Amino acid sequence: MPLFRMQILILQLQTILFQLQIFLLQVISWLSFSLAMVSLAVIMGLIIRRAILDHGKRLAAERQNLLMDRMLACLEDPGQLGTLKEQLRPDDQRLLLGLFEGMIPNLRGEYAQRLSDMMRTLGVMENQIRELQHRKWWRRANACKILAWIRDPRVIESLEKTMNDPNGDVRLEAATALVKLDAVRSPSLLLAKLAEATLTRSLALVDLCRTLGPSCVSEFIAMLDGDFPDRVMTLAVDALGFSGDLRAVEPLLKLQQHSSAEVRFAAVQSLGALGDPRALAVFEKSLHDPAWEVRAQTAFWLGRLGASEMLSPLQDRLDDDQWWVRYRAAEALAAMGNAGAIALRGFAEDVRPRVAEIAQGVLNEKGLAT
Amino acid sequence: MFAPIIDIIKLINAVIFALLILQNASYFVWLALAYAELRRSVRREKKPNLWSMLTKDFTFSISLLVPAHNEETTVVENVHSLLALQYPDFEVVVVNDGSSDRTLETLIEKFDLTKIHRACQLAIPHRRIRGLYGNPRYPRLIVVDKENGGKSDALNAAINLARNPIVCSIDADSVLDADSLIRAMRPFVEEPEQMIAVGGTVRVANGCTVKAGQVIQIMPPRQMLPLFQSVEYLRAFLIARLAWSRLHAMLIISGAFGLFKRNAVIQAGGYSTSTVGEDMELVVKLHRSMREKGIAYQMRYVPDPICWTEAPDTLQVLQRQRTRWQRGLLETLFKHRRMLFNPSYGPVGLVGMPNFLAFDVIGPLLEMTGYVLIPFCGVIGVLSYEFFIAYFMLTFALGICLSVGSLFLAELSAHHSLKPKDLLLLTAGAVVENFGYRQLNNYWRLMGFWQFMRDKQGWGAMPRAGFSRG
């Protein structure tokens, strides 16, 4: 009897499992079908949206053309600004902003000032200062970019506050705007606000520091003695090189002993860019730097500087283990006129294959082979 | 007597069904990941500072590597198009890989080239270079004439000759958007130390109007086969690559348009000449090399830099391409099998490679088996009607859903927005491709598998009709 019951139980269980299986299969079928239908409905919605957007774009383009004509008229005659302001619709702000972004980089002097004043009068500046509080970071970053063109104490104040923004990209954009407005109080403070790993690696920060360089040479020089991370130090060194200020030479010379190859590399590059002859003695040592990148960079700058007294140290580098060092040394020799070319021709016959190969290769490349 | 056979058949069906569920579930996860990555990418695009900075002089210089084999009809126009790209500093290294037609002579005549010399680092082995050509009027152009050694060999020669830190492989028959290099360079600018490779999107140019080496009017193809491929490319790039990029497990950067750090490629040993899937193999090799050396690195897919390519419009040529791709995939997986399921290789070994194995190698085999076995079982009464319907719904309805999903992403990316009627045409393509084209593709994959097993080599001819010129 218990066996019979057990069999019935198993049968019932099998039936339930079978029904469950059928149910699951039906769910899968309907779910798949529904998803396909929903996706088709969504794409149809997108197609309709696209059609509406295209139509909206055409209308906006027409309105923007009209606004542009009026803005140009106001640039010529600022007296018409009042009329323009009265004619503005609430949704014109976005179009005005687009026009401003397009026009301002192409204007100089008085016209640029008039356009900035116009944006202030038409409320664009206020809008953008408010936009700095927007919850989307890219909107805040874009506001910084626009405000960089409007020289106003309120703009500078707002941008300085934005340097505390939680998003690094927004801070970077605010810093760029402050640099553009020539309103940076302390570059080291500015860099401290930007000193997070992802930002300091970005070439955007290199660009910012180079722009800042000429006006902040003393501050950057002071940073070289400070306790900054290597990456921040590199930024300061790079900026000094592109400042064109010879006060930077002495502090940069001291960096030849720095523990970071990245800093030593930047120092060689900056000294080369400054083109001061005091750098040559240091360059001679840098040709033996443990990092091949520093050696190659040094050889490159010696070639650019045409330092003929460095012929002999450069010749030694023709037998460097790294191809790029050999190549840059040979290239530098080729750039040093007749003496360099004669030396290279001699090395083209050298018994050391890699020396002969690089010397001959560069002679051929530069058209100096006999 | 038949009971054990029926049980085995049922088991096979269950495995096929389970894999199909798993595959579709994975695809939906990818779709969600791709959506998140696309949104992130669109935000990155909004970074205003970067755009202006990219046009300045101190960004990385690029060497464009263009292998050309028997391309005499298109090579000149394509080189002109490359020379006209918007980027501060780049060089174009065209490698004539032992063409049997007049590719080299045409280049020499049209660009008035003469023999030049360039010191060259022999970092990666390649076949002998017969000569280098240049013209001071085109200082960015260098033409390399070498003995035939295949695409990988040509690329290796170009890498050795390249003088810039970033190299970009480009197919000689593809067209780049004018601003594609600037857009593709963004990840290198954001992460100059760790970024070693960036892939862009490849889209089908059939149907578009090309004028002066630029795509000036974007239209989906009017022919069925290229239309299906359009949808397929959107799905591959906007779902799969975006998702894999997000997971740090991207295994393919298309050979038609990919940027690499030259040093990293050299350290990995350059392109492999023993595989027909050299683009995938290089990316896998880069992952492997970086992981084994313990170097922190990144690779990223950027959806907006667009490279336009001509898709095959005949079944014969498409079949050759697809079987070759499948062989390339299998060769790469086999060569780097040590990475499979190996946690030392991170997401690439644990997710990326197993995914390719499951869905691109085993998947087509099971799907094709399912097409035959499941209806058969339905007819003989082994399987329930519900199973049969569920299988086909999973295959076709979800197939449509995913294809349409890629169109949704394409519309969101909006770098090249399509007209409503073109989007409608692509939607139709996304539906119809599931009935016939998809099965054909699976069949070609099986052919590729068979050729791999038989150790077949070579590319096969890939004749092109040429872009429709404006």
Predicted ipTM > 0.85: no
* Rounded average pLDDT over B27-37: 93
Q: Tell how strand B209-211 and strand B214-217 pair up.
A: antiparallel
Indicate if the pLDDT at residue B469 is higher than 50. no
Short-list A154, A231, A142, A240, CA closest to A192: A231
User: In 3-state terms, what secondary structure has residue A216?
Assistant: helix
Cα–Cα distance list, A219 to A195, A244, A273, A316, B86 (Å) = 16, 15, 19, 38, 36
Which of B119, B123, B423 lies nearest to residue A47, judging by beta carbons? B423
Cα distance from N-terminal residue to C-terminal residue, chain B: 69
Q: Position B43: which residue type?
A: R
**Tens digit of pLDDT for each residue in B5-29?**
888 888 888 888 898 899 899 999 9
Contact B257, B180 (CB under 8 A): yes
Q: Where in chain A is the domain with CATH 1.25.10.10?
A: 92-183, 187-276, 289-370
- Sequence-ordered list of residues with C-beta below 8 angstroms from that of A323, at least 6 positions apart, any chain: A358, B121, B123
**Which chain B residues in 327-386 lie under 8 Å from chain A, judged by CB atoms?**
384, 386
> DSSP label at A323?
H
Alpha-carbon distance of A116 to A155, in angstroms, equals 12
Q: In chain A, which residues have their Cβ closer than 8 Å to the Cβ of B239?
A: none
Q: In chain A, which residues have their Cβ closer than 8 Å to the Cβ of B396?
A: 36
User: Which pLDDT belongs to residue B459?
Assistant: 56
Q: What own/partner pairs with CB < 8 Å and gap ≥ 24 does B280-283 have?
A: B280/B251, B280/B252, B280/B328, B280/B329, B280/B332, B281/B328, B281/B331, B281/B332, B281/B335, B281/B336, B282/B253, B283/B197, B283/B250, B283/B251, B283/B252, B283/B253
Q: Position A115: which residue type?
A: L
> DSSP label at B359?
I
Indicate if the pLDDT at residue B366 is higher than 80. yes
- Within 10 Å of residue B139's Cβ, how many Cβ atoms? 9
Cα–Cα distance list, B132 to A83, A228, A344 (Å) = 66, 48, 22
Alpha-carbon distance of B379 to A137, in angstroms, equals 60
> DSSP label at A172?
H
- Sequence-ordered list of residues with C-beta below 8 angstroms from that of A232, at least 6 positions apart, any chain: A191, A195, A200, A223
Give the right CATH number for A187-276 from 3.30.1950.10, 1.25.10.10, 3.10.50.40, 1.10.10.10: 1.25.10.10
- Whether residue A46 lies within 8 A of chain B, CB to CB, comes out as yes
Q: Tell how strand B166-170 and strand B209-211 pair up.
A: unpaired
* Rounded average pLDDT over B118-133: 94
- Whether residue A41 lies within 8 A of chain B, CB to CB, comes out as no
Mean model confidence pLDDT for chain B:
89
- Read off the pLDDT band of B271 (50, 70, 90): very high
- Within 10 Å of residue A46's Cβ, how many Cβ atoms? 20
CATH topology of domain A92-183: Leucine-rich Repeat Variant (1.25.10)
* Binary contact (A29, B386; C-beta < 8 A): yes
List the pLDDT tens digit at each of the 370 positions of chain A: 678 888 889 999 999 998 998 999 999 999 999 999 999 999 999 999 999 999 999 999 999 999 999 999 988 888 888 888 888 888 888 888 889 888 888 888 888 888 988 888 888 899 999 999 999 988 999 899 899 999 899 999 999 999 999 998 899 889 989 998 989 888 888 888 887 766 667 777 888 888 888 888 998 999 888 888 888 899 999 999 989 999 999 999 999 889 999 999 999 999 999 999 999 999 999 999 999 999 999 999 999 998 888 999 999 999 999 999 999 999 999 999 899 999 999 999 999 999 999 999 999 999 888 7
Distance from B428 to chain A by nearest Cα, in Å?
10
- Sequence-ordered list of residues with C-beta below 8 angstroms from that of A53, at least 6 positions apart, any chain: none
Alpha-carbon distance of B39 to B45, in angstroms, equals 10
- Read off the pLDDT band of B468 (50, 70, 90): low
Rg over alpha carbons for chain B, rounded to the nearest Å, is 23
The distance of Cα A299 from the centroid of its chain, to the nearest Å, equals 27
User: Which pLDDT belongs to residue B1?
Assistant: 61
* Residue-by-residue DSSP string for B209-226: EEETTEEEE----SSHHH
Q: Tell how strand B195-204 and strand B298-309 pair up.
A: parallel
User: Which pLDDT belongs to residue B456?
Assistant: 66
Look at the block and give the residue holding tokens 């944006």. A119
Q: Which residue has the higher pLDDT, B459 or A155?
A: A155
User: Which pLDDT belongs to residue A79?
Assistant: 85
* Binary contact (B53, A324; C-beta < 8 A): no
Distance from A77 to chain B by nearest Cα, in Å?
31
**Which chain B residues in 183-222 lie under 8 Å from chain A, judged by CB atoms?**
189-194
Contact B352, B336 (CB under 8 A): no
- Whether residue B43 lies within 8 A of chain A, CB to CB, comes out as yes
CATH topology of domain A289-370: Leucine-rich Repeat Variant (1.25.10)
**Which chain A residues in 119-148 lie under 8 Å from chain B, judged by CB atoms?**
137-138, 141-142, 144-145
* Binary contact (B194, A169; C-beta < 8 A): no
Largest interatomic CA distance in chain A: 114
User: Which pLDDT belongs to residue B470?
Assistant: 43
Q: Tell how strand B62-68 and strand B166-170 pair up.
A: parallel
Distance from B215 to chain A by nearest Cα, in Å?
20
- Within 10 Å of residue B207's Cβ, how many Cβ atoms? 20
Which of B46, B119, B393 lies nearest to residue A33, judging by beta carbons? B393
- Read off the pLDDT band of B461 (50, 70, 90): low
**Which chain A residues in 301-340 lie under 8 Å from chain B, judged by CB atoms?**
323-324, 327, 330
- Whether residue B401 lies within 8 A of chain A, CB to CB, comes out as yes
User: Which pLDDT belongs to residue B465?
Assistant: 56
